[in-house]
A and B are shown apart, each in its own frame.
Chain A
């Protein structure tokens, strides 16, 4: 017995030693003689795969010419690591972040300003959709370049609309089109509910605030409100529009009752899976972005291909293409009347940055500039199924894009009512507070006024403290 365990122990040691001697090493597969640029990407999954193709293209063309090699690593939460790595003095050469993080990084001087390099390379702001270009700068300094954008729109299930056609017609609503105003939206939502007979619980919800709930913090956008005022540089959570927005959020929880609400919520499946509530038919209308098309295609292919399979779709006349899909996309309806309520959208974008202290900013910029080329942008859009940050794209691109509604996203992002993420100096704290307030509101723990008042007070104090400390720093 003893010798057996000795032998196993010895084998384990040997295994460890073998791992050390022959195991994989970092930076394997880099062609010799190239300058390695490390690129940390926050996306994992399909979006990362798309970016990896662009990186490979770069390495084979521009990179090979100029002796550069971009080594892309995509890991979950790597966007959180970038700031700590920069603080630790060991940042990556290039980092793929979200605009949400830009201000926090820029304020602390953690990003290399890109204005001069962008000018040299002829990167023209006029070519970009303003909503995306503007959020790449902070305090007049260009700190990032955009890659793949995100815009939130109404996704709705046309089949459920037809199924409820009688009820909708009876209420004077048109089942062949999406709701145009928020008031209308609420009526649609109510009529699209499918209750479980004899209970107050739902088999299907017309609309459910908490699927996925990512954008609940931005509900004010649909009411013409805003959490942050750029002019006065203050949080404005208590604007009447915002309160109305959260009353609206709460109204959906109240309608179901908080218990049935929690029940329904916990019965919903994972987002990127066949059990996705929208794809599995548990919810008729959701707030989502262009990625939903990818999930629909891979997790519930039956929701598409109504007329012909994907492979034959290019042969369909353009006007017929939407009929190949059970689901459709439209602007999320707004509570605001008139022009200001038309094509309202909420926008963010993925960005590439060069952290301060990275050793090869000029070389890294070669890659950033490469991604900005229109043809590369189009390829990225095609691979990710997303629309584009650029104003103009080729017609061919628009019509062969794998998301049948890419034109809608493009229009929403270019709309004058396209709202973007707030650029506040205490963004993460702000987001956390608003997130918490919205949780308290939809769980009916607090009324919107209570929750928002508390959040506003804390944010005011935090902001005041922030400015105070800034002033101290300035005085030095």
Chain B
């Protein structure tokens, strides 16, 4: 199955262990001159990395700095790098914004993301079990098909998906457009990316475990439910995390499916802080809003770093 092999398999990243190991090796093998050269190399690497990291962190720092300015300070040129004293008011101002109801949008986002996470985590695991642990003819073909759907960018099928929901609105009693359903319902049928990630994980669970249970008279669903799912907790967490992030960040989906401004999600709401024709953009407010949208994601990342990085590395996707 070549499909499979395009994907790099990853091991956990354990920087500290590797550091000790190779440092020891260096000491063992190189003479003093080589050591001096190595030291110079290290210095160069550090300097390069510090410069690059400064560049990477600068936009974020600038976002925070602007969010703590008054609108007047934000409009200064040359700009003030560090706002002293900080103007914390931008934050309450963005939360109580007259037009953009941030708390309402946050609630909408949580509803959509929550529903999608709950559905996709379970269903994707269910399907992944089929791909990983049940042998049958045509499985490879179906798996390849699934992988190729993963490659279809959403903008390519957005028009037709919209029209599909419109058709369903007219021909079924359920209303889809103008509700949150188009955003989470498709996730309740499993999503290719999540199925793939879980399948990779399930493959690594030895078959002996399930065979033992089978001999005890356990059905396949029982094996899935009682053995595989508990073992796969880290992978499930990873799927839940990615799904949550996807919905937190998604802009285009809500843009085409949500019509009533009371249903907007945070990503859409943030754009609303941009001034329109005839209205100024209050950059400090806009940046405070950006901080509020970015912050949960970054906190979540720090809390779940390992799960996260392993997830990306295993799938090599996103």
Contact = CB atoms under 8 A, between A and B. Distances in A.
Asked if chains A and B are in direct contact (CB within 8 A), the reply is yes
B99 interface: yes
A272 B300 CA distance: 38
Contact of B99 (A27, A44, A90, A291): A44
Contacts of A90: 175, 177-178, 259-260
B272 interface: yes
Interface in A270-304: 270-275, 291
A23 to B, nearest CB: 4
Nearest to B273: A76
Contact of B177 (A26, A74, A88): A88
Interface stretch (B2-10, B204-212, B275-283): B275-283
A5 B303 contact: yes
A474 interface: no
Given A5-B303, A75-B261, A92-B260, A26 B272 contact: no
B71 to A, nearest CB: 10
A104 B239 CA distance: 44
B256 interface: yes
Contacts of B264: 75
Contacts of A154: none
Contact of B275 (A5, A20, A25, A272): A272
Interface residues of A, number: 42
Interface residues of B, number: 41
B259 A85 contact: yes
Contact of B104 (A24, A78, A271, A272): A24
Contact of B110 (A16, A40, A47, A78): A16
B256 A84 contact: yes
A19 interface: yes
- Name the prevailing secondary structure of the B interface residues: helix
Interface in B167-191: 169-170, 175, 177-178
A107 interface: no
Contacts of B256: 84
Interface string A27-68: 100000000001010011101100000000000000000000
Contact of B262 (A48, A73, A77): A73
Given A85-B259, A87-B166, A19 B177 contact: no
Contacts of A23: 103-104, 106-107, 110
B111 A20 contact: yes
A88 B179 CA distance: 11
Contacts of B73: none
Given A85-B178, A90-B177, A73 B110 contact: no
B263 A26 contact: yes
A9 B303 contact: yes
A125 interface: no
Contacts of B100: 75
B316 interface: no
B262 A26 contact: yes
- Which of A40, A47, A273 neighbours the largest number of chain B CB atoms within 10 Å of its CB? A273
Interface of A: 5, 8-9, 12, 16, 19-20, 23-27, 38, 40, 43-45, 47-48, 73-78, 81, 84-85, 87-92, 214, 270-275, 291
Interface of B: 75, 99-101, 103-104, 106-107, 110-111, 114, 162, 166, 169-170, 175, 177-178, 256, 259-264, 271-272, 274-281, 296, 299-300, 302-304
The 9 closest A-B pairs by CB, nearest first: A90-B178, A85-B259, A45-B279, A23-B107, A88-B177, A26-B262, A76-B276, A24-B104, A5-B303
